[in-house]
Amino acid sequence: MIRCEKLAKIYPGPVAALVDLDLTIPAGQFLLVCGHSGAGKTTLFRLIAGLETPTSGTVSVNEHDVARLGRGGLPYYRRRFGLVLADAPLLPQRTVAENVALPLLIAGVPRRQAFERVALALERVGLAGRAHELPPTLSGGEQQRAAIARAVVHRPSVVIADEPTAQLDHDSAKEVVRLLRAFHAAGVTMIIATHDEALFSSVAQRRIVLAHGRLVEDAR
C-alpha cells in the first residue's frame, strides 16, 4: 500500500507542483491519474518512485517512510517499481534487449538468465524479432511496448506509467492497454496517467483528478 500524506513539492520560482496531497493506493489497484498538463501528475509519480524528495509531507510504502531510506536505500526502493516515464526513456545507444535487461542487470541477475527473461518479456509485448535493434529504429508504438517490457521484466509490485498511450495510433494504444491489463491481472498495482480516460475505462478501478497540484476528484 502506498500512502501520501500532506505531500507537497515546490520548485524554485516558486512553483507549487503539488500541494498537501493525501492519497492512499491499496496494493493491486488500477489507478487512473487525470489532469491537464502541469496539474502535478509527473511530480506525484516521481515522488512516489523516490526520484525526488518532497518539500513537505511523506510518501510511505507499507508504512515505511521513503524519506528515511537515505542514499543507500533509495536504489533498492526504486527497484520495486516498473517505470514508463518520459524522463526514463529507452537508451538510444543500447539495443532493445539491452534496454529491457537493465532492471535485471542492475538487480544483479546473471546475464544469461537476464536475457532469457528479456526474450520472454519481448515476446509478450510482440517485439521478439526486434530485440537486437536500436530504439530509434522502432516506431512510437513499438518503443512504448519496449518501455513496458522494461517496466515489467523484473516483476515489480507497482507499475507507474505516464501517458503510455500518448502519440500512438488507436490500435497501438489498445495493444498497450491490453498489456497493462494483463500485468494488472497478475497482481501488479497500476498507476497510470492519461488524457484518454475512455481508453482505460474498462480496466481502471479508480480515477483521481489533479488540478494545480491539488486532488480535486477521487472516484471509484
Partner 1 sequence: MKRGWWEGQAEALGRALALLRTAPLVTAVVTLVLATALALPAAMAWLGAGVTQWFGRQGTEPQITAFFRQKLAREEALAVVQRWREDEAVARVVFVPREEALARLRQTDLGAAIETLPDNPLPDAMTLVPRRHAPPEVARLQQRLAEETGVEAVQVDTAWVERVHGLARAGTMVAAALAAWFALGMLAQTYLAIRLQLVAAAQEIAVLRALGATDGYIGRPFRWLGWLQGLFAGCVGAALWGGLIAWLAPPFDELARLYGLGGFAPFPLWTGALVLVAAGAVLGALGAEISLRQFFRASP
- List contacts with partner 1 (CB under 8 A): 49, 51, 71-72, 75-79, 83, 85, 87-89, 91, 93, 102-103, 105-111, 113, 150
CB of 19 to partner 1, least distance (A): 24
Length of the chain: 220
Whether the link from the prior residue into 89 is cis, omega within 30° of 0, is no
CB of 116 to partner 1, least distance (A): 12
- If the CB atoms of residues 161 and 209 are measured against partner 1, the closer one turns out to be 161
- If the CB atoms of residues 21 and 83 are measured against partner 1, the closer one turns out to be 83
- If the CB atoms of residues 84 and 215 are measured against partner 1, the closer one turns out to be 84
Measured between alpha carbons, how far is 138 from 145 in angstroms, rounded to an integer? 10
CB of 85 to partner 1, least distance (A): 7
- Scanning 49-207, the segments in alpha helix (DSSP H) are 70-78, 96-106, 111-124, 140-152, 170-185, 197-200
CB of 219 to partner 1, least distance (A): 30
CB of 159 to partner 1, least distance (A): 13
- If the CB atoms of residues 77 and 181 are measured against partner 1, the closer one turns out to be 77
Beta bridge partners of 15: 11
- If the CB atoms of residues 94 and 206 are measured against partner 1, the closer one turns out to be 94
Beta bridge partners of 21: 7
Measured between alpha carbons, how far is 195 from 35 in angstroms, rounded to an integer? 7
Phi then psi dihedrals of residue 183, to 5 deg:
-70, -35
